[in-house]
Structure 1
């Protein structure tokens, strides 16, 4: 996963090393909590190795922090369990520092009404 130059220059080594693959995966899924993803898509979007993502997802599933159905993965809807997980807090804090806090209602006001074509079920592709 790449970082911007400003983050590189102004972050300590501990801050830069603080996000494991598991933390990055849970941060990505939490930031995209309205969707479920295949492991390959999580790997592509987080710029992590697909094997590392699969291992992270399995660990998160064992901790009941993600849900798995078919080949799709999503963040848990159990907010208390998620809040108790330290990696989620670290990921959220780092992403907020780098990108600013999310204005969820503002984002939703500008979100399209229809899902992206990649999120639609294409049964015609069989």
Structure 2
């Protein structure tokens, strides 16, 4: 979907723009929900359903942007300040979907 040239010119270059449902969004969402762990590409594939070949390519692009980090075979959410609010939103969103609004009587 195109954007206006004004938005293009005014949008900060360091903005974290992730389209919902895209591979980067799905991977970052998974890693943010599990920010206390690191995962192999296969584990990320299993959790997200993204094709194995696409997981590796997406992780490499995310690493270039500083959004994920890896050591050996393991990948984790990055330390980028932009991810702090993203992770907080992800945790809040997942908590609201798992809250029990109806207490047992």
Give the shorter-chain TM-score range: 0.5 to 0.7
Q: How many residues align?
A: 80
Per-residue CA deviations over 1:47-95 (Å, capped at 9, x if unaligned) read 11111111111111000111110010001133x13258xxx48x839x8
Q: Could you state the TM-score of these two structures normalised by the residue count of structure 1?
A: 0.53
Q: Residues of 1 paired with 2:98 and 2:79: CA distance?
A: 18
Q: Could you state the TM-score of these two structures normalised by the residue count of structure 2?
A: 0.62
Unpaired runs of at least 5, structure 1:
1-16, 104-126
Q: Residues of 1 paired with 2:64 and 2:56: CA distance?
A: 12
Task: For 1:55-94, list aligned pairs within 5 A.
Answer: 55-78=57-80, 80-83=81-84, 88=86, 92=90
Q: Aligned in 2, Cα 1:43/1:51: closer, same or farther, shift over 3 Å?
A: same
Q: Residues of 2 paired with 1:21 and 1:51: CA distance?
A: 12
Task: For 1:27-46, list aligned pairs within 5 A.
Answer: 27-46=29-48
Q: Residues of 2 paired with 1:49 and 1:58: CA distance?
A: 15
Between Structure 1 and Structure 2, the one with more helix by share is 1
Unpaired runs of at least 5, structure 2:
1-18, 100-105
CA RMSD of superposed structures (Å): 3.0
Q: Residues of 2 paired with 1:99 and 1:49: CA distance?
A: 27
